[in-house]
Amino acid sequence: MPPSVVIDTNVIIAGLRSARGASFLILERIGTGAFTVNVSVPLVLEYEATARRQAREIGLTHAEIDHVLDYICSASKHREIYYLWRPFLRDPKDDLVLELAVEAEADFIITHNLRDFAGVREFGVEAIDPKRFLVRHNLPGVRK
């Protein structure tokens, strides 16, 4: 059974900025069966707001960003959050990622900000960076 994940916004943005890194490889593998991605309405809205705010730096139009997010949504499991664990983490935007991970019974939160997710093992989920996730699951394209 493939691992269940929640992808933090910073990984989405990093993958959109550059096709030369682990974040891009994560995006490239969405929908391939390598892992199951979980999303919620609040998290997708966060993806959208952040990507649109940084569209010029990313080098994509709003329409292109919408296409990427539409694909992510179409290839992901949609979850509704019924219980809020807030505040648990320092940043409320990180709390919404954790709440989704708990609801989805996700194995991993894929993030570049590991320190921001300190203590999430208490909820049965592991915070992991994109490169370590790819290496651990033997997904090609990244060097150990």
User: pLDDT value at position 83?
Assistant: 63
Q: How many CB atoms lie within 10 A of CB 55?
A: 16
Distance of alpha carbon 36 from alpha carbon 30, whole angstroms = 8
Question: Under a CB-based contact definition with an 8 Å cutoff, are residues 38 and 6 in contact?
Answer: yes
In this prediction, residue 18 carries a pLDDT of 95
Where are the domains positioned within the chain? 4-136
Per-residue pLDDT of the chain (144 residues; tens, 9 = 90+): 899 999 999 999 999 999 999 999 999 999 999 999 999 999 999 999 999 999 999 999 999 999 999 999 999 999 998 766 556 666 667 888 999 999 999 999 999 999 999 989 999 999 999 999 999 998 877 655
CA gap 42, 130 in Å, rounded: 22
CB atoms within 10 A of CB 144: 7
Fold of 4-136: Rossmann fold (3.40.50)
